[in-house]
Amino acid sequence: MLPGRSASHSDQPVCADCAGITQDYHCFGCGTETEHYRQNTCARCSLRNDLRALLHVDESQGTERTAAKLLAALCGAQRPKSILTWLRKPGVRELLERLATGDIPLTNEALDREPNSLRVEHLRSLLTHHNLLPGRDHYLALFQRWLLSKLDDIDDIEVRRPIESFARWHHVRRIRTLSTDGKPTRGPVHSAKQEITETIKFLIWLKLIHGRTVASRLQADVDAWLADGAQRDMPSEPFSSGR
C-alpha cells in the first residue's frame, strides 16, 4: 500500500514506513497489507468469515461438500466487496443456505425451479464461472422457461397442443441449432416469443369467433386476422396449406 505522500518528491505516493505512518495496515486474517474492511480484517477475509458462519463450513472436512465449494467460489471473486454487498440483498442468504444444505441441488435445473430473479441468475453466473455448474446458452434457457409458463396459461387443449408443437419443433429446435453452432440467440428468442404470443391470440380468436381449430381453419380466417390492423405481424406459415 502507498498511503502516504513524499515531502521531497513532489507529493509522490509512498509506503507507510517511508511516510512515517505507524498504523498497521496488515490484515489480521491473511497478513496482506491492504485496506481494512472490518475489525482489522480485509474484505476477502471478512467475506470468508461471514460465509463460514452462514454455510456452516468446516474446512478441515475437505472441499467436496457443496458448502465448501460455494465458499471457495464466492471467496474467489475478483471483488469481494461486491459479494459482501450482494449478501445483504433480500433472499440471497436464504438461497445460499438452501444450496449448502442440499435443499436446492447444485444443478441448473434446480435453480430453474426457483422463482426467476436477478439474485438467482447472478449466483448462477458465479457458479458457472467457477465450473460448479456447466455452461449453457442463457437466452435459450430463459426461452424454455418462458415457454413452459406460457403453455401453463393455456387452458384449452385444442389451442395448447398445436402451440406446443409449433414452439418446440420449430422454434426451440431452430434456436438450439443456432446455439450449438455458436451463433447469437438473443434476437431469434425475441422473435420466437412474439410469434408464439401472436399465434396463441390467433387460435383463441379462431375458436371464440368462428368455433374452429387449427385443423379446420380456412385461409380466409388467416386473411381476416392479418387484415385486422394490429395483428399484421402474426406468422401465417403454420396455418398455410399442408401445415
Q: Decide if 7 is inside a domain.
A: no
Q: Are residues 152 and 219 in the same domain?
A: yes
Q: Amino acid letter at 212?
A: R
List the chain residues with pLDDT less than 70.
Answer: 1-11, 14-23, 59-63, 116, 229-243
Domain boundary (129, 151, 186) is at 129
Q: Are residues 231 and 151 in the same domain?
A: yes
Q: How far is CA 78 from CA 75, 82, 122, 138, in A?
A: 9, 9, 14, 22
Domain boundary (75, 100, 129) is at 129
Q: Are residues 223 and 142 in the same domain?
A: yes
Q: Are residues 123 and 157 in the same domain?
A: no
DSSP-derived 3-state class of residue 208: helix
Overall domain count for the chain? 2
**Which pLDDT value is given to residue 33?**
79
Burial 83-121 (b: 16+ CB within 10 A, else e): bbebeeeeebbebbbebbeeebeeeeeebeeeeeeebbe
**Which pLDDT value is given to residue 97?**
92
Q: Decide if 31 is inside a domain.
A: no
**Tens of pLDDT along 90-103?**
889 999 999 998 89
Q: Nearest-CA neighbor of 143 among 201, 189, 198, 196? A: 189
Among the residues of 113-185, which ranges form H helices? 118-129, 138-152, 157-165, 173-180
Q: Are residues 100 and 189 in the same domain?
A: no
Domain that holds residue 106: 58-129
**Which pLDDT value is given to residue 7?**
64
Q: Decide if 74 is inside a domain.
A: yes
Q: Decide if 87 is inside a domain.
A: yes
Q: Are residues 143 and 233 in the same domain?
A: yes
Rounded distance, CA 142 to CA 63, Å?
31
**Which pLDDT value is given to residue 6?**
63
Q: Decide if 17 is inside a domain.
A: no
Residues 6+ apart with CB under 8 A from 8: none
Q: Are residues 121 and 150 in the same domain?
A: no
Q: Decide if 5 is inside a domain.
A: no
Q: Are residues 124 and 143 in the same domain?
A: no
Q: Are residues 157 and 208 in the same domain?
A: yes
Q: Are residues 156 and 200 in the same domain?
A: yes
Q: Nearest-CA neighbor of 129 among 63, 56, 78? A: 78
Please, what is the Cα angle at 199 between 195 and 202, to 5 degrees?
Answer: 140
**Which pLDDT value is given to residue 3?**
61
**Which pLDDT value is given to residue 236?**
45
pTM above 0.85, yes or no: no
**Tens of pLDDT along 31-86?**
787 788 888 889 999 999 999 999 988 766 666 788 888 998 898 888 899 899 98
Q: Are residues 121 and 178 in the same domain?
A: no
Q: Decide if 47 is inside a domain.
A: no
Q: Are residues 152 and 117 in the same domain?
A: no
Report helix, strand and coil shares of the chain as percent, to nearest 5. Answer: 60, 5, 35
Q: Decide if 52 is inside a domain.
A: no
Domain boundary (98, 129, 160) is at 129
